[in-house]
């Protein structure tokens, strides 16, 4: 079942790790699904930084790619993608890390107002 903290790895290059930042509450199961990407000081200097200390499956300093978040992601679609072999389930994100991620999402200029409402 998809919920806040669900974590999956793409089985397609570049095999990013994706995280669900909210419990699906609406009838369509809308979720905020974002992926980690490698930290680059020149491009991501103002983004919240995550490291292997935040999630043991990160191998280097990373940020959340809010600018790539899918605007119409849903829990049922993600479950279908997992069943189809597009993603592999991973251990959930620890609660303190998830809370930092949600706070970063609320502050992000890249998420739409609709996506930010899902983080409430």
What is the arithmetic mean of pLDDT over 15-22? 97
Higher pLDDT, 25 or 88: 88
Q: Determine the distance from the C-alpha atom of residue 48 to the mean position of all C-alpha atoms in its chain, rounded to a whole number.
A: 13
The count of other CB atoms within 10 Å of the CB of residue 48 is 17
DSSP 3-state assignment of 36? strand
Residues in the chain: 120
* CB 73, CB 29: distance < 8 Å: no
Burial classification of residue 28, based on how many CB atoms lie within 10 Å of its CB (0-12 exposed, 13-18 middle, 19 or more buried): exposed
What span, in angstroms and rounded, lies between the C-alpha atoms of 17 and 13? 11
pLDDT value at 51 more than 80: yes
pTM (two decimals):
0.93
């Amino acid at each position: 079942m998809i919920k806040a903290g669900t974590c999956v790895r793409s089985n397609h290059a570049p095999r990013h790790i994706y995280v669900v930042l909210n419990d699906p509450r609406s009838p369509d199961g809308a979720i905020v699904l974002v992926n980690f990407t490698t930290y680059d000081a020149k491009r991501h200097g103002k983004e919240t930084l995550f490291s292997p200390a935040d999630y043991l499956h990160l191998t280097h300093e990373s940020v959340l790619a809010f600018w790539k978040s899918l605007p119409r992601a849903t829990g049922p679609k993600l479950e279908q993608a997992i069943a189809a072999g597009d993603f592999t389930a991973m251990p959930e994100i620890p609660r303190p890390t998830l809370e930092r991620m949600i706070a970063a999402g609320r502050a992000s200029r890249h998420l739409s107002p609709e996506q930010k409402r899902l983080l409430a």
